[in-house]
Amino acid sequence: MTKTSASFILVVAITLLGCVKEEEQQSTSQQTPPNRGGSSSTSNLFFCDTRDLNRDSSSQLGTLFSDYNKMAVNKAASSPANVFTIPVRFHVIQGDSSTENGPVPDDALVEQIDVLNRAYAGETGGTQTPYRFQLASINRVSNAKWRSLSPGSPEEADVKKALRVGDATTLNVFISDIVAPEGQKGTILGYSTFPFVYQLQPEIDGIVLNYRAVPGSDLANFNSGHVLVHETGHWLGLLHTFTGACDGAFTDLVSDTPREKPPTPGNYCPVGRDSCPETLGTDPIHNHMTYTGDSCRTEFTQGQVTFMRFNTLLFRGMR
C-alpha cells in the first residue's frame, strides 16, 4: 500500500469516527438512546449494542469500498487460497468464583472457538470466509468493579486499557455481565468495535460479550456461541443487515443481503418474513448479522466476505 493511499485511509477513518461521535453527542443531548439497530420491549433484550453507522459515515465507507472493488488487489485479497488465522484472547472478568458472578469454564471457550471456525468456514451454511480462529489465551480476572460493564463506560475503558493485548489482528474478547446504559432497559448480549476505529483508538479495540451468551449457558435461544459469531462479524467490518431498513440509499453496503427492518422481538426464526416488500428478496433471517435466534443464524454471503476483506485489509492490515 502506498503512502498516499495509507494517508487517504487515515483521513476516512478520522471522518468515520467523527461521524459516530457526533451521532452519540446528538443522541445524548436529545436524551434518546443512539441507534442500536433495534431493541426488544417484549423480551426485554438487546441482542447487540454495536452502534450502526449514521448516513454520513456509511456514505464515506461506501465510497472507499467502491474504490476498493475497482482495484486489482480485491481479487487477490478475496482469493479462497488466502486464509487468515486470528488469535483470540479471552478475558473472563468475575466478581468471585461463583457461576452466578460470571465465570465461564475453559471447555465452553474451547467450544466457542470451534463454533467460530465452523461458522466462518461455511460449515453451517452460506459462503466460506477466509477467517479462522485460534485460542491464544484465557485470562481470568477477579474484580468486582469490572464484573458488570456498560457500553462506553469508564469501567469498560479501564478494562481494555489494563487487559487488551496484541495488535490490530488480535481478537480480544472481554467476557462479563453487561449493564444497559442509563436510560435504556434490557439485557445486552454483546457489542464490538469496527476495524476503522483501530486506526485512531487501538486501545478500545475488541468485543465485550455477555457471559450468558457462551456455549452451554442457560440463556435460551442465545447459548450456542453464535452471538460471538455475530459480534466478530462487526469486528471484521460487517454492519447489521437491517442497517437503513427499507431505505435503498442507506444500507449495510453489501449487495447480496436483502433489505429488512429489525426482526420482531421474540420471533427467533420468522421464516418467510418480508418486511420490505417493495424491494427484492425476503428478509435474510439466516444471516449471521441479523437479529434472530442462534439456531436460525447460519450464513454469510459472498458480498459480506468481500466487505470483510476490504475492512480487514485496509484497517487491520491482514494481507
pLDDT tens per residue across span 126-135: 999 999 999 9
Which are the contacts of 91, defined by CB distance < 8 A and separation ≥ 6?
139, 141, 159, 163, 172, 173, 174, 175
Q: What is the pLDDT of residues 132-186, one digit of tens each?
A: 999 999 999 999 999 999 999 999 999 999 999 999 999 999 999 999 887 777 7
Question: In tens digits, what is the pLDDT along the chain, a chain of 319 residues?
Answer: 545 445 555 655 555 555 544 444 433 333 323 333 333 333 455 678 887 788 888 888 998 999 888 885 665 555 556 899 999 999 999 877 666 656 799 999 999 999 999 999 999 999 999 999 999 999 999 999 999 999 999 999 999 999 999 999 999 999 999 998 877 777 899 999 999 999 889 999 999 999 999 999 999 999 999 999 999 999 999 999 999 999 877 899 999 999 999 888 788 999 999 999 999 999 999 999 999 999 999 999 999 999 999 999 999 999 8
Positive or negative CA dihedral for 255, 256, 258, 263?
A: negative
Distance CA 73, CA 84 (A): 16
pTM: predicted TM-score of the whole model, two decimal places: 0.88
Q: Would you state the pLDDT for residue 71?
A: 80
Q: Please give the Cα distance from 139 to 90 (Å, whole number).
A: 6
> pLDDT value at position 56?
83
For the chain, the straight-line distance linking the first and the last C-alpha, in angstroms and rounded, comes to 10
The chain-wide mean pLDDT, for the chain, equals 85
Amino acid at 204: I
Strand partners, 208: 174, 191
Q: What CATH architecture applies to the domain 3-316?
A: 3-Layer(aba) Sandwich (3.40)
* pLDDT value of position 9: 59
Long-range contacts of 258-265 (CB under 8 A, 24+ apart): 258/282, 258/283, 258/284, 260/284, 260/290, 262/37, 262/38, 262/291, 263/38, 263/290, 263/291, 263/292, 265/38, 265/39, 265/40, 265/41, 265/42, 265/43, 265/45
Catalytic (active site) residue 231: yes
What is the predicted pLDDT for the residue at 107? 96
Task: Enumerate the H helices of the chain as residue ranges.
Answer: 3-29, 55-69, 72-77, 106-120, 154-163, 226-235, 302-316
* The pLDDT value given to residue 40: 32
What does the block give as the cell for 94? 468475575
- pLDDT recorded at residue 74: 62
For position 243, what pLDDT does the model report?
A: 92
Q: Which one of the listed residues 156, 231, 260, 278 is annotated catalytic?
A: 231
What's the pLDDT at 270? 95
